[in-house]
Structure formats: C-alpha cells, structure tokens
Amino acid sequence: MSLPANPPARPAGIATTLRAGLNAGLMNGGLFGLADGVVAGLATGQRGAGAWLGCLGLAVLTYGVVWVVVMLAVALPLHPWLRAKPLYGRFQKLLTVAVGLGLFLELYWWTRPYLYSGRAAFDPRRLMVAAGLLLVGLGLAFAIARLARMLPRFVKLAGTIAVPLLWVAGAMYLVSLRGASQARGELNPRNRDLPNVLLVVCDALRADMLGCYRNTRVKTPVLDELAGGGVVFENAIVTAPFTWASFGSILTGKYPRRHGLVKMEASLAMRRDNNVTLPWHLKSAVREQDQLSLAEQDFLSGTFMTGTLSHGSGLAKGFDVYYEALVGHDIVDTASPWSVFRSKLVLSILRDKLAQSFDASRVITVARGWLDEHPSQRFVAMVHLYSTHTPYDPPAHFREQYCDPNYKGPVHSFYASDRQQIEDGYPISDADKQQIRNLYEAGVAQADAMIGELLADLQAHGRLDETLVIVTADHGEELGDHGLWEHNWPFQTNQLVPLIMAWPGHLPAGKRIAAGVQSIDILPTILDLMRLKLPREASEPDPLGHIDGSSLLPLVRDEVKSVRPFAFCENQNFLAIQDTAAEGPRYKLVVAAGDDCAQSLSHPPEGVMPPQLYRLDEDPLERKNILAEEPQQAERLLAALCAWDASMPIAQHQILDSTRDTIDARLLLKVLGYVEGQQTPPPKRTPTGQSPPSNPPAQNR
C-alpha cells in the first residue's frame, strides 16, 4: 500500500486547544466586560469621559483575566472533542461555550428577583431553574455564533484592536487613582482623645433572647460579658418595627416621620437627602471643650451591611466605605470611582455571592479585614448582622446546639415565603413552631459568636479599651407568640430590643437601667460621650431638622429618673405609646393609624385593629386588653399620643399604603380575634363600655 504524496497535516495537540481557549477567553471577556461595564456606568451615574473610559477599560481587563482562566480550564476536558479541528475551529467552538456560560450567568443574575426569590442557591427549584437558564444561554450562544460569522471582516478587526486599547486605558486609569484618597483617621489633636465607635445592629433580635436579659436557654457569653462591663438598658424601645425606619432613627436621632424613611420602598418613602447621620456629622462636629471642628479626614468610617439595609436608602451617608452582602457588593470605597463602578459589575457580585456561600460570617470577615488594614486610625463602624432575621438557616454548629435531633417535621429552615404560607393557612404543629424558634435561637448564638470575633480582633490590637461599643437591634421578632411571625407588629416582641453600651473607664460596669429609652437616643448619647455638639440642624427652626433623641448619660449617672415620660412606635397600620417610668404601673396603648388621632378610641376606623391597652408591668406578654376596665388610662395615653402625632412634620395620611400593609392589617385583626373565617367579629367596646353596632368582617387574604 502506497502513502499519499501529500499526507494531511496532523491536527495540532493540546497546546493549540489551550491557545484557542486563551483567545476565546480574551474575546469573551471583552464582550461581557464592555456590556456589563456600560450597565455599571449607567447605574453608578459615572461622570467624565476619562472616568468612563478608564472604568470600562478596567472592566474589560478584569473580565478578560477571569474568562481566560475559565476557558483554559474548560478547554482541557474538551480537548478530545476539539482535537480533530484546526485552531480557528477550536476557537469558534470554545467561544460559543464561553458566550453561553456568560449569558447563563447574566440570565441567572438578572432573573433572581423573579424566579424563586428568597430561596437558597442550592434549593432544588433554584437548581432546576439554573439548569434551564444554562440551556437557554448555550442555545443563544449558538445562534449568536452563526450570526457573528456573517459580520464584515473590518468589524471583527476593529473589535480585536479595541480590546487591547481598552486594557491600556484601564491600566493607566488605575495608576492615576493611586494616592487619590487621603489617609483617613490618622491621630491628631482633634481626634486623639476621642474613642472609636463600633455600632453593631443585629437585625430582628429580641431583647429576651440574651442571657444578660435573663434568658437561661440561649447561650450568649460574648454579649453577657460585654453587658457586665458596661450599661444594659432593660427597656429599649424602637421607633418602628421594621428596618429602614428604625435604622434611620438610630443614625439620625429622629422619629421616622421626621427623617422620612417611613417605608421599605424608595418610591413610598419620603427620604430627606440632607439628614445628618452619625458618620456624616463626625466629619465636621464641634468639640464642646475647645470649640474645634473635626475635619473630614479625622474619622475613618465604614458600614458592613447584610440584609435589606443598603446605601441606596441614604442610611450609609457619610460612611467612607460600605459592604452590602445581600446585593453582593464587595467593600466599596466611595472616594474611588473604580471601586464604586466595580461593585456593580455582575462578575464582582457573583464572586462575592460565591464567597458568602462558603463563609456564613462574611460580613464579619470583611469588617475584620477592614479593621486589620487600619490598625491605628480612629474609626466609626456600623456592622449589620442578619442571623436572627429570616431566613433562619444557621450553620450546623449552632443548629446542633438548639434544634431537637429527633424532630422529623418539614421545617429545616424558615424563609419569609414560609411565613406567607402559614398566613395563607398552611397547618403547622407545635413541634414545627418549636423548631422555628430553635432555629431562631441558633441564629442568636451565631450573632453572639460573630460579635465575639470582632471584639477579639479589637482586643488583640489593643484597641478595645479605646472603643465605644454599642450593640442593639432595629426591631424584634414574632415567633408565633401572638399567632404571628417575623416583624412589623405592635407587640413588645417587636418593640423591645437589646441596648448595651460599653467603654471602659467612661461608662460604669454592670449598670442596669429599667427606665424606658428609645433608639433615637443612641446618636445623642454617642455625641455626649465624645463631648461633641449635636448637628447644627437640631437648632434650626425647620421641624425636619429637630433631633428627637436625648443623651442617656444623665440616666446612667442617676441624675434623672427618665429622659422622657413616653416612648412612641409606629408603622402604617398602628400608633403605639407606652410609659417609660422605671417604677410603678406601666401602660401601653395601641391604636390604628389614621387621620383623626383623637377619634381612634371612641370611633376607630372600620376594618382596622381596634384599640388595645395593656399593663406591661403585670402583663408583659400582652395577653389581656384592659381598655374597657381602665378607660382613664387609655384617655391619658391617647392625649399624649395625639400631641406627639401632631408634632410630626410628615402626617400619617401622606404615607402611601403598600400591599403588605393591607395584608398585615387584616392578619392582625384575625389574630386578635376580630376575624374568624367569615364570621361576624365580636362587638368593639369603647372606653365608656358602650357596644357600637358590629361592622362587616374584613376579608382574610
């Protein structure tokens, strides 16, 4: 047998496949880097042609590096399938795979709010959706590849030239950013004698879950030790039982209808962009002792946020850096356009989300890393923890300590969507309810351990004694106590939160205060401890600028019995007032929110929660409505509540209802016994004991 005169060349080996993978990665990185870069630039409002070009170049460069690594890894197992093809054929196939994977990641990310939102990434339903999106992405990539072959040659050449030019532009821009941010927090005569401030807010943490609040089941050694070395406020009451409004009060010292964050939706909130937050004020606050003004660089400030709180709410105003776990924004330096730009890139978000899946304490990890990078600067940091908020899904180590190993029911975690199923009538047993509570308690222990990591780091660097540490919560949580779950309810389970303050040598150790205080008091207390004046807007005639809170130091020093006679809390459905006296009877009145506060007892609006009066010192669980028995107490509290309501610059009727408000109002009626299926509710009683005609029952959803 004779051989052909010119035998065909053998296909190139693995090196050619890797070369094809390299080219496919560079091309795909250019395509998706440019596309995501444009979206990120629009989302951040990037200004200036130089910044636009530089950030786009860095996006293309970043995506190129990542996709080269990915495609080299993909090329190796695909080599046996590709080895019969020439270089260009291998490149085309690998580019199609790369584009398909890129489209899958984009589709997965942008559809996440609509496809099984709130479910874990490895939930079987989420995995099935992901598999479907992968097939869609690969199908689209195949179609795009066929269309790309029809492009004119000069277009392909232009794209090949544009990518390296963008790399150069990005590299040059990155070099230009070096040294752009001045050193923050360096010690100087203005800040040397001031403390660092660490504010830890545990989302949805009930006060009665901590050992230092007399809980004997849940182990919270870190917070118990902190309380032993500081001040415990036994009756700390939030201004609103939901996140945005409550955080607004913590950071501004104002009630919600003064700072404007009256809703969890930006379109429904009435946010004031000129609210002065704690970190913002520390950039220019005036020292009382020498009248010196702090400078912008005197405090390094950072906030590390887990859940629904975000810089988009305006609550991160004044923080130099922020980290947002829920949306996947890695730590962002607000002074660096590239850092802000990068946080919006899908690749950056997915990378942080992947890191979170392997690190249950990601927020703490990032915060600790930031503190370790600045071991000697003055800082103010807010850390927002989420392990006590739905989903209750603690790591195995904490789960094993609190969950019954013999429990065989369906509850393995508890998401907001599970709560909605219960509200819709899904039957759960007592064992299921206990399992939900156990999961929550495990989250409390997890929060305690995470706070311990932060404090241990500060102790290791010799900084704990010069740091004012404050631990609190934005609201509590219902765990089936009144037939309700989660929060945004009028009961003490939602309104009473922990408040612990410790600063060795400046606050007494082991001090416990029974008088009622509020979250609006945190900002004035911090400033008083630092001997700094309140924000200037507090003295303005504009009612929006008034600071509602008071320093708690006179209370700590036993100079006063209480800082105010009443505490107020509200949402769109209710207004609540309670006595704050440490001794004697303590009453609480809850009425439906409405346009006419004065009529809320005698003529409550139809289809809303009837007035509720509780004596908290005798009935802390709020089981018995004593409105009919003690109408004079209700009238007393109502007069003070209406005066406060009238003093708020934003009226109740100016706040738009959301669908959730309507659902919650109906559910509250039902659990209070005023709606039972389609039955007629029992007659309401006025403070005089008269029974008005029954109203038609509200429809349960």
For residues 21-46, give the mean pLDDT. 84
Q: Is residue 200 domain-resident?
A: yes
Q: Considering only 75-84, 279-288, 291-300, 600-609, which range has the smallest mean pLDDT? A: 600-609
The 3-class SS string of 118-149 reads CCCCCCHHHHHHHHHHHHHHHHHHHHHHHHHC
CA distance 686 to 412: 45
pLDDT of residue 701: 32
CA distance 326 to 336: 22
**pLDDT band per the 50, 70, 90 thresholds, residue 118:** low
Tell me: the pLDDT tens digits for 662-680? 677 777 777 776 654 333 3
Q: 504 with 608, same domain?
A: no
pLDDT of residue 525: 98
Q: 292 with 403, same domain?
A: yes
Q: 330 with 310, same domain?
A: yes
pLDDT of residue 137: 84
pLDDT of residue 23: 85
- Residue 215 · residue 486 · CB < 8 Å: no
4 prior amide bond cis, ω within 30: no
Tell me: the pLDDT tens digits for 217-264? 999 999 999 999 999 999 999 999 998 899 999 999 999 999 888 876
What percent of the chain stands above pLDDT 90?
47
Q: Which residues contact 35 (CB under 8 A, 6 or more apart)?
A: none
**pLDDT band per the 50, 70, 90 thresholds, residue 139:** confident
pLDDT of residue 291: 85
CA distance 400 to 266: 39
Q: 63 with 169, same domain?
A: yes
* Confidence check: pLDDT of 129 > 80: yes
Alpha helices by DSSP H, listed for 521-647, are 522-529, 553-556, 631-647
Q: Considering only 168-182, 249-263, 385-399, which range has the smallest mean pLDDT? A: 168-182
The 3-class SS string of 397-451 reads HHHHHHCCCCCCCCCCCECHHHHHHHHCCCCCCHHHHHHHHHHHHHHHHHHHHHH
For residue 359, the tally of other CB atoms under 10 A from its CB is 12
Considering 555, 586, 611, which residue would you say is the last residue of a domain? 555
pLDDT of residue 579: 97
CA distance 349 to 689: 60
Q: 138 with 203, same domain?
A: no
Q: 496 with 548, same domain?
A: yes
Considering 555, 586, 614, which residue would you say is the last residue of a domain? 555
200 forms beta bridges with 383, 471
Q: Is residue 560 domain-resident?
A: no
Specify the higher pLDDT residue, 521 or 24.
521
Tell me: the pLDDT tens digits for 614-625? 999 999 999 999
Tell me: the pLDDT tens digits for 412-448? 999 888 888 888 888 899 999 999 999 999 999 999 9
Tell me: the pLDDT tens digits for 187-227? 999 999 999 999 999 999 999 999 999 999 999 999 999 99
Considering 123, 147, 176, which residue would you say is the last residue of a domain? 176
Q: What is the DSSP string of 648-667?
A: -SS-GGGSPP-HHHHHHHHH
pLDDT of residue 266: 57
- Long-range contacts (CB closer than 8 Å, 24 or more residues apart) made by 10-14: 11/83, 11/84, 11/85, 11/86, 12/86, 12/87, 13/83, 14/76, 14/79
CA distance 246 to 518: 10
- Residue 627 · residue 591 · CB < 8 Å: no
Specify the higher pLDDT residue, 155 or 21.
21
Count Cβ atoms within 10 A of the Cβ of residue 270 and give its class: 0-12 exposed, 13-18 middle, 19 or more buried.
Answer: middle
Q: Is residue 588 domain-resident?
A: yes
pLDDT of residue 669: 73
Q: 260 with 387, same domain?
A: yes
* Confidence check: pLDDT of 287 > 60: yes
Strands 499-502 and 231-237, by their bridges, are: antiparallel
The per-residue pLDDT of the chain, averaged, comes to: 85
Strands 496-497 and 231-237, by their bridges, are: antiparallel
Q: 242 with 366, same domain?
A: yes
Q: Which residues contact 438 (CB under 8 A, 6 or more apart)?
A: 402, 403, 404
User: What is the residue range of 39's domain?
Assistant: 14-176
Q: 166 with 295, same domain?
A: no
Q: 569 with 544, same domain?
A: no
pLDDT of residue 565: 96
pLDDT of residue 458: 95
For residues 628-639, give the mean pLDDT. 95
Query: 301-314: b or e for each residue (b if 16 or more CB lie within 10 Å)?
Result: bbbbbbbbbbbebb
Strands 467-472 and 499-502, by their bridges, are: antiparallel
For residue 103, the tally of other CB atoms under 10 A from its CB is 20
Q: 276 with 133, same domain?
A: no
* Confidence check: pLDDT of 409 > 80: yes
CA distance 13 to 8: 15
pLDDT of residue 179: 54
CA distance 683 to 701: 22
* Confidence check: pLDDT of 684 > 50: no
* Confidence check: pLDDT of 4 > 50: no
Q: Is residue 643 domain-resident?
A: yes
Q: Considering only 222-236, 287-301, 467-481, which range has the smallest mean pLDDT? A: 287-301
3-state secondary structure of 616: coil
* Confidence check: pLDDT of 22 > 80: yes
Q: Is residue 235 domain-resident?
A: yes
* Confidence check: pLDDT of 688 > 50: no
Tell me: the pLDDT tens digits for 306-317? 866 666 677 778
CA distance 61 to 25: 11
pLDDT of residue 124: 81
Q: What are φ and ψ of residue 161, in 5° steps?
A: -80, -35
Q: 210 with 252, same domain?
A: yes
470 forms beta bridges with 199, 501
Q: Considering only 76-90, 391-405, 415-429, 537-551, which range has the smallest mean pLDDT? A: 537-551
Q: Is residue 181 domain-resident?
A: no
CA distance 230 to 508: 6
Q: Is residue 513 domain-resident?
A: yes
CA distance 701 to 665: 11
- Pull the structure tokens for residue 82: 């590709």
pLDDT of residue 27: 86
Q: What is the DSSP string of 534-569?
A: PPGGGGSSSGGG------SHHHHTTS-S-S-SEEEE
pLDDT of residue 106: 85
CATH number, domain with residue 239: 3.40.720.10
3-state secondary structure of 237: strand
Q: How many domains does the chain have?
A: 3
Tell me: the pLDDT tens digits for 644-660? 999 998 888 777 666 66
Tell me: the pLDDT tens digits for 321-348? 999 988 888 888 888 888 888 888 888 8
* Confidence check: pLDDT of 371 > 70: yes
Q: What is the DSSP string of 315-381?
A: TTTT-SEEEETTTTEEEEETT-HHHHHHHT-HHHHHHHHHHHHH-TTHHHHHHHHHHHH-SSS-EEE
- Residue 200 · residue 385 · CB < 8 Å: yes
pLDDT of residue 472: 98
Q: Is residue 190 domain-resident?
A: no
